[in-house]
Chain A
Amino acid sequence: MLRQTAMLVLTLVAAGGPLVAQAGRDDAAQRARRQAMVDVIVRAGVRDTTTLGAMLRVPRHEFVPADVRDLAYGDHPLPIGHGQTISQPYIVAFMTEVLGARPGLKVLEVGTGSGYQAAVLAAIGCDVYTMEIFEVLATEAAARLRLLGYDGVRVRHGDGHHGWPEAAPFDAVIVTAAAGYVPPKLLEQLKPGGRMVIPVGSVYGVQNLILVEKDPRGRMTTRNLLPVRFVPMLEGLR
């Protein structure tokens, strides 16, 4: 069944979707690794075909340093230099699915990193705004995204605490650098009915994913996401 789902995804992707100017960079071996990565993500429980299609198209190996490129499609985080990391593929897919990413969705990402998450959202067709506090990462990510054909992604160097007021409001916000609080400005810049996903904690330790939803009256509710997935696994963890 899982294999069939993965094949279905592959068929969907092959049928269309935005293509990236990556000829010569993305050979058959990389595509095969990416397919294996998506298979793992499907087995882990992500079912949204739009998300899986984007994960299958975006060349993750272009978003990691050359010395760990062979590991780009493993289901784990990797260092990208400057003390920062690229998230585990499953976490990227899970957050994208939870966000309800669809073409035309206006998304603010806080914590660009290498630009991989922004590329996945752009591959889906989202209108992506992404902020990075480390200038060197912001510059590199912008160049990388342009080179790979994700021209529509707007990258800004700045403190995510203040959000992007000129472009607000947003349909969705992804915060990838939470530290015990959610910046109030980001909540203000979220549209009523919008969604925010926050992974709390250290990338090598734990990723507590929290979904914040803003109702039409502006009131927030939160939902702790990962227990839903983890509960069946707990039996084996005693």
Chain B
Amino acid sequence: MTALAVALASAAALAWQILLVRLFAIEQFHHFAYMAVGVAMLGYGASGTLVALLRPRRATWVASWFAGAAALTAVTLAAVPVAVGRLSVDPTQLAWQPSQWARLGLVYALLAVPFAAAALVTLLALVREPARTGRLYGASFVGAGLGAAAALAGLALAPPPRALAVPVLLAAAGAVCGAWTLANRRARLGVAVVGAAVAVVVLTRPVWRLDVLPYKGLPQALALPQAERVADQASPTGWLVAVRAPALRFAPGLSLAYRGPFPTQTGLFVDGDAIGAATTWDDSTVSLLDWLPAGLPYALGSRHRVLVLAAGGGMDLPAALAHGAHEVTAVELHGAVAALATPRWLEARAGVHVRWVTGDVRSAAAGMAATHDLVTLAPTGAPGHAAAGIHALDEDFDHTVDAYARFLRLLAPGGVFAVTTWLSLPPRGEVRAVLTVAAALRRLNPAAAARGMLVVRSWGTVTVLAKPEGFTAADLAAIEAWTAERWFDVDWRPGLERPATRFNVLEPPAVFEAAHAAATSAAAADAFADAYPLRVAPATDARPYPHHALGLGALARFIGPDRGALLPFAEWGVIALVATLAQCLVLAAVFVLLPVAVRGPPPGPGSFGVLLAYFGAIGLGYLAAELAAIQQLTLLLGHPVYAASAVLTVLLVSSGLGAAWSDRLDWRPTALAFTLAAGLTLVALALLGVLHAMQGFPLALRALGATLLLAPLGVAMGMPFPLGLRALAGGDRPRVAWAWAINGFASVVAAPLAALVGLELGSPRVFALAALAYGVAGLAVPAARRGPRATGTAIV
């Protein structure tokens, strides 16, 4: 029953974490969600500090605390969301309103309580039954893995506020199990009643009221006169809402020369952010589409077979249909978006066939043949979002050199690849797109970049066309005529020696200079990227951050007196990540080092430094490996939610099995840590190649492949903690508590740290960091030290 209570409490905590991130991402922004939940998870470590300082001596106290912590987990999981909902935090005002920080601090503290309570359940179980360390720790892992799966199941079945009932129910069940371990029957009954009451409350009314920040696209649209919500659908990959309002219009980069009418449109929003619109078809639609950058590729002549990537909500699919394409394949991740965005009347027209592929762009492209006359990729998000760094932290495997090279290979002879980005000031996303297209062309043919690239800029967008065979004189003449009529500029065409801007002045002419360098040679392109004031070198699958342009060194200027003037450069995702790391480091030091300094280190075998180094290193190593696996498997599984659920479930459950197995082993922690370091080094070197080889498989096979890759790693990574606990703490309660606290804090600090390493150096280096951490853990423990093999009987 103890192991079951531990598993349920851990399941509840992880499910709650996943759902909180989703809820905050919808209500606020993704990076705020990361910061708020990331810092609150310090509650895990704080539980260890609490037990280490209070040092419960009697077995009955430990038993009571255990049952109480299980009940507290259930109660706080239900109560904290209600309290947090009453605190109004506006993250957009954090930079200049100190009162917002006080509210945010209170949110951190409140959110940390359920994490601390759930962690306390596992820790007290370990303290209570040290002989079953591996099994209890394993139960925690397995529970957490199943909690991740339960959260996703909840998101699939209900909107996120309702899905919050899942962790509460799990915790309530855990509370009942915890109560069952008590000798006192009245106490047992009391806790069971509390657990059941909490379950009834959350089933009858949601504990969270969705309150989306008013500056996000969805509330703005809903506030428009005569706005009407016409679709509302929640799924694990996002909350889709469609809004119809007369004042809603979407025409990205529309020519200033356009004087025609506008069609009726329905705005599409995922997690509260605008992603595009579904356009009603009439004569005005066709008229408009020829004056958008999306119409540019058709200036080169008819394109019969067109592949539209990330099609939902963009104008590329309507443009293909309006320009006479006969056969269109549209790839879209969100099935509901596809259903809303399809212009059905045109589908019914004789000779026109639209095929929707629901799934991620890379996997879809991996399974296609080279038969397309045109492949298009539309801009991401709303104007300003890319430049604002809203997506700076997002892995985006659609805009890497590897991706563009794959898209180019889907072209039939004479085919063209087109990618459009929003213009950012100073230019960065568009400069990177130019360099990336050139690098991809060069992969196909070293001479292709010089004659096969063309760049057109409107007042607000940049479109790069790539034709591996090279553009002909007739092609160039057609493009010149089309763009001149629309007051667009040809920023680059083969052979151009100086900027030829006529309509849209860009000073300095960064797009021309990038294209000129990129067309000259790979070395010139590299030199240009190195000399550019912002990061614009092409992204790769190993480091898939095409929306990240600001070096970390610049962040210090955002806390200086000129921060208002620097707002346009801010990458809020990165700033939140650094802020999270800084806050976690400070709080971890306060909760670990300060109590040790005040009360002195715990007595026992080995110094406190050994505990700190070993349990800190394995906490860091585990989280770094987990994060790197999520980053890389996003490529394989097509969406971070799928990758996170696969990694969390498989890795945690297999780690749990490994931990439970460790009870039967008398391995040395040192040998295991070095083995893990070697294994993770191998993963760092080989994983990406393996994933590329599996890219074209059906999703079920890719998921199976991911499981087979992760499970052995998970089994091994589940062992160092229980083996280390036996070797370094034995049954000593304060040492167990300190080991738990150190491991908990290191895990929480490791999350933003590993994310920063991934952002700056790439996912393989994050695996390398994990390998290094396990190596340090191996060195920290005296080589001969090993713990007694578990006997299966309780010491307390």
**A and B form one complex:** yes
Which A residue sits closest to B569, measured CB to CB? A237
Given the known interface contacts A74-B564, A205-B388, the answer about A227 and B504 at a Cβ–Cβ threshold of 8 Å is no
Query: Contact: B387 with A222, CB < 8 Å?
Result: no
Provide the residues of chain A in CB contact with B551, threshold 8 Å. Answer: 237-238
Q: How many A residues, CB 8 Å from partner?
A: 57
- Interface of B (DSSP majority class): loop
Query: Contact: B570 with A227, CB < 8 Å?
Result: no
User: Is B460 located at the chain interface by the 8 A CB criterion?
Assistant: yes
Cβ 8 A contact of B254, one of A182, A223, A225: A182
Tell me the residues in window 194-236 of chain A with beta carbons closer than 8 Å to chain B beta carbons. 200-210, 212, 219-228, 230-231, 233-236
Query: Contact: A204 with B567, CB < 8 Å?
Result: yes
- CB contacts between A and B, total, < 8 Å: 184
Q: What is the CB-to-nearest-CB distance from B527 to chain A, in angstroms, rounded to a whole number?
A: 15
Q: What is the CB-to-nearest-CB distance from A40 to chain B, in angstroms, rounded to a whole number?
A: 8
User: Is B572 located at the chain interface by the 8 A CB criterion?
Assistant: yes
Given the known interface contacts A44-B565, A220-B257, the answer about A237 and B550 at a Cβ–Cβ threshold of 8 Å is yes
Which A residue sits closest to B487, measured CB to CB? A220
Cβ 8 A contact of B565, one of A75, A222, A234: A75
Provide the residues of chain A in CB contact with B90, threshold 8 Å. Answer: 79
Which A residue sits closest to B253, measured CB to CB? A180
Q: What is the CB-to-nearest-CB distance from A90 to chain B, in angstroms, rounded to a whole number?
A: 6
Given the known interface contacts A200-B384, A201-B383, A212-B459, the answer about A179 and B568 at a Cβ–Cβ threshold of 8 Å is no
Q: How far is the CA of A180 from the CA of B389 in the complex (A)?
A: 17
Tell me the residues in window 429-466 of chain B with beta carbons closer than 8 Å to chain A beta carbons. 459-460
Query: Contact: A181 with B214, CB < 8 Å?
Result: no
Given the known interface contacts A83-B223, A133-B225, A182-B459, the answer about A224 and B507 at a Cβ–Cβ threshold of 8 Å is yes
Tell me the residues in window 202-249 of chain B with beta carbons closer than 8 Å to chain A beta carbons. 214-215, 219-220, 223-225, 246-247, 249
Query: Contact: B505 with A223, CB < 8 Å?
Result: yes
Cβ 8 A contact of A205, one of B426, B460, B506, B570: B570
Tell me the residues in window 729-778 of chain B with beta carbons closer than 8 Å to chain A beta carbons. none
Provide the residues of chain A in CB contact with B508, threshold 8 Å. Answer: 227, 231
Provide the residues of chain A in CB contact with B388, threshold 8 Å. Answer: 201-202, 204-206
Q: What is the CB-to-nearest-CB distance from A159 to chain B, in angstroms, rounded to a whole number?
A: 5
User: Is B97 located at the chain interface by the 8 A CB criterion?
Assistant: yes
User: Is A71 located at the chain interface by the 8 A CB criterion?
Assistant: yes
Provide the residues of chain A in CB contact with B550, threshold 8 Å. Answer: 237
Query: Contact: A79 with B252, CB < 8 Å?
Result: no
Provide the residues of chain A in CB contact with B708, threshold 8 Å. Answer: none
Given the known interface contacts A133-B247, A222-B504, A227-B426, the answer about A206 and B534 at a Cβ–Cβ threshold of 8 Å is no
User: Is B352 located at the chain interface by the 8 A CB criterion?
Assistant: no
Q: How far is the CA of A205 from the CA of B382 in the complex (A)?
A: 11
Query: Contact: A83 with B256, CB < 8 Å?
Result: no
Q: What is the CB-to-nearest-CB distance from B257 to chain A, in angstroms, rounded to a whole number?
A: 7
User: Is B385 located at the chain interface by the 8 A CB criterion?
Assistant: yes
Query: Contact: A83 with B426, CB < 8 Å?
Result: no
Query: Contact: B258 with A184, CB < 8 Å?
Result: yes
Cβ 8 A contact of A184, one of B259, B554, B569: B259
Query: Contact: B564 with A88, CB < 8 Å?
Result: yes
Q: How far is the CA of A135 from the CA of B227 in the complex (A)?
A: 14
Tell me the residues in window 100-157 of chain A with beta carbons closer than 8 Å to chain B beta carbons. 133-135
Which A residue sits closest to B215, measured CB to CB? A83
Q: What is the CB-to-nearest-CB distance from B243 to chain A, in angstroms, rounded to a whole number?
A: 13
Q: What is the CB-to-nearest-CB distance from B639 to chain A, in angstroms, rounded to a whole number?
A: 24
User: Is B65 located at the chain interface by the 8 A CB criterion?
Assistant: no
Q: How far is the CA of A222 from the CA of B390 in the complex (A)?
A: 26
User: Is B557 located at the chain interface by the 8 A CB criterion?
Assistant: yes
Q: Could you name 9 residue pairs across A and B whose Cβ atoms are closer than 8 Å? A: A74-B564, A76-B96, A83-B220, A179-B382, A201-B388, A202-B215, A208-B460, A221-B502, A221-B504
Q: Other CB < 8 Å A-B pairs besides A68-B97, A205-B570, A220-B257, 6 of them?
A: A205-B572, A210-B460, A221-B502, A222-B504, A227-B425, A237-B554
List A residues at the B interface (Cβ < 8 Å). 40, 44, 68, 71, 74-76, 78-79, 82-83, 85, 88, 90, 133-135, 159, 161, 178-182, 184, 187-188, 200-210, 212, 219-228, 230-231, 233-238
List B residues at the A interface (Cβ < 8 Å). 90, 92-93, 95-97, 214-215, 219-220, 223-225, 246-247, 249-254, 256-260, 262, 382-385, 387-390, 422-427, 459-460, 487, 502-508, 533-534, 550-551, 553-554, 557, 564-570, 572
